[in-house]
Structure 1
């Protein structure tokens, strides 16, 4: 009887340790994302980007312009700034929707809406769309 009780206690304790470890890992990921982009992070809901000059946001926007330049061969866009943006976290990725100002052949500035996803697992990025607005 004592053996069954000890086994049950050990199994319960093991489950608590494992569960708390997973909670700690997911909380660390949320803190990394929220520290960069916003003071609160609602999983699945859109959040405004408070600081469009944040290095993370600028890096995502520059990535979008670079990828768009690879797609279109007859136009060379030069990144200028991010005027607005929002993001959401779901399915282990962050989706960014940014309003980017870019120069076309360094002649005139245009605004574009870019959608980029970034994996929380390996930080792999993908340009989903890039359209003139």
Structure 2
């Protein structure tokens, strides 16, 4: 084969493989919607998030439900959930939100969860 043929084969191969690479990279690092927020594992993560946050602030927050969520594959998985809560001093205030955004980093192979973000959802 001559260099011109090699160039066109390399170009064709690049045009085929690059979109596949971009698709795979987006799947690994991008946020993807959680289709079933009532899945027991998703609910468990939501309960964990509210419980961990309440351990820090001691307001008596109680988990109600996961409203929506996304997951992201990292060294484990991140879960960004919108949860509703009941009880607590802040929730009782008229202007306080009953919805919170939580991000939990899970490493299931060592049965580890870490609450990395928890704020009222606006």
Deviation of residue 104 (structure 1)?
Answer: 2.3
For structure 1, the residue ranges without an aligned partner over 5 or more in a row are 1-40
Q: Which aligned segments of 4 or more residues in structure 1 are displaced greater than 2 angstroms?
A: 104-109
Query: More deviation in 100-109 or 77-86?
Result: 100-109
Alignment of 1:65-84 (within 5 A): 65-73=50-58, 75-84=59-68
Query: Partners in 2 of 1:90 and 1:129 — Cα distance?
Result: 16
* Deviations, residues 67-116 of structure 1 (Å, cap 9, x unaligned): 0111002x11111111110000112x100000000012397570000000
How many residues were matched structurally?
Answer: 91
Q: Is residue 2:69 matched to residue 1:97? A: no
Query: SS state of the match for residue 61, structure 1?
Result: helix
Q: Distance in 2 between matches of 1:46 and 1:68?
A: 23
- Highest RCO, 1 vs 2 (Cα 8 Å, sep ≥ 6): 2
Corresponding position of 1:61: 46
- Rounded to whole Å, the distance in 1 between the matches of 2:72 and 2:87 is 29
- SS at 1:53 equivalent: coil
Please give the per-residue CA displacement for 1:16-44, whole angstroms capped at 9, x wherever unaligned: xxxxxxxxxxxxxxxxxxxxxxxxx9211
Q: Cα offset for 1:56? A: 0.5
CA RMSD between the two structures: 2.0
Q: Secondary structure at the match of 2:67?
A: strand
TM-score (norm 2): 0.68
Report the counterpart of residue 32 of structure 2 in structure 1.
Answer: 47
Equivalence for 1:117 = 105
- Partner of residue 3, structure 1: none
Which residue among 82, 88, 99 is the counterpart of 2:72? 88
